[in-house]
Structure 1
């Protein structure tokens, strides 16, 4: 199976020492922006649609006629934010996740029980899954025993904005929260 997206872990990691505050914006083109890394609305909606097609693979509640629960959609957006924070922090050290690292992660998926599901996922969703599985190990390798503190510092220093249609960034909890 595809490893569960560590949304809770990422949120807890970011929440440990964050200061309070939130940033929202209304944009017709981006669901979120983190330090210049943008998640276009169409890409976010495609990720949500792909996850909704195989909820058991992503260990989320089944999606019914009312659509994906807001908490699930915000958790997925929160995972994207965590990925972007790690990408930005790694870039500041001149580190990237290599194509070879992504290939190793993909090969592990293809060798497992999720191979059939993997074949049905969109390229954007595959990229999101690979980011979610490769960034944390790269971050830990780059920052070593200080990885936790480095992630918290990177999150505090990041400019994180969320389109108000999808929620708001809550820097206290390190999560995408429902818009008040």
Structure 2
């Protein structure tokens, strides 16, 4: 996104971002509702921001940002919820990676972390979670992390039960 003076696509992206921010300012707590950006943003376009690809028809389009979209559609509560999901996934991923001893599983979790962080950064400039074909890797990586986390906890529990059964305890350890 280097040419923001003559490239219609880049200029339209800025137009959409400005509209999303204006929508948020008008309804900051709950927004306009999920999936409504394309139907609401036209009235927030400033004449100076309109491009040759701008539309008033509500016939498509999004905020071109994974963060400004939820902000305009679901307000600050929606954005905070999305950020909470991201934070929880990253925390779980890093915690799981650091706990694993199997190098193959560590590699899978690391690949998922890198893929998700790449998507999170890219999300500032565009959004694809509303596109089924492109949201599959996002939710797929998230599911892989959760599955490996659950698997590793189950494996640790088995090991702990085995150790507990073979290790004698004293009366003070049980208190």
Structure having the higher helix fraction is 2
Q: Larger Cα Rg: Structure 1 or Structure 2?
A: 2
Q: Output the TM-score relative to the length of structure 1.
A: 0.30
User: More relative contact order in 1 or in 2 (CA 8 Å, sep 6+)?
Assistant: 1
Structure having the higher strand fraction is 1
